[in-house]
Amino acid sequence: QKYAREAYGKVRIALAKVNSFLSEAISGVLLIQTFNQE
């Protein structure tokens, strides 16, 4: 039970990192597209 909780915590941290990376990448792409339209 304890091991499962530790593994879950690590997975959650990894997912949070992936999510923040993806959201930064997406907002960066949207920014570039906005600049290209002008």
- What would the DSSP string read from start to end of 1-38? -HHHHHHHHHHHHHHHHHHHHHHHHHHHHHHHHHHHH-
For the chain, what is the domain count? 1
Interatomic CA distance for residues 37 and 33, integer angstroms: 6
Let me know if residue 8 belongs to a domain: yes
| Residues of the domain holding 16 | 1-33
Domain contains 38: no
Q: Does 10 map to a domain? A: yes
The span from the CA of 7 to the CA of 10, in Å, is: 5
> pLDDT tens, 1-38?
888 999 999 999 999 999 999 999 999 999 999 999 88
Tell me how far apart the alpha carbons of residues 35 and 21 are, in angstroms, rounded to a whole number.
21
| Residue 31: per-residue pLDDT | 95
pLDDT at 2: 86
Position 12 in a domain? yes
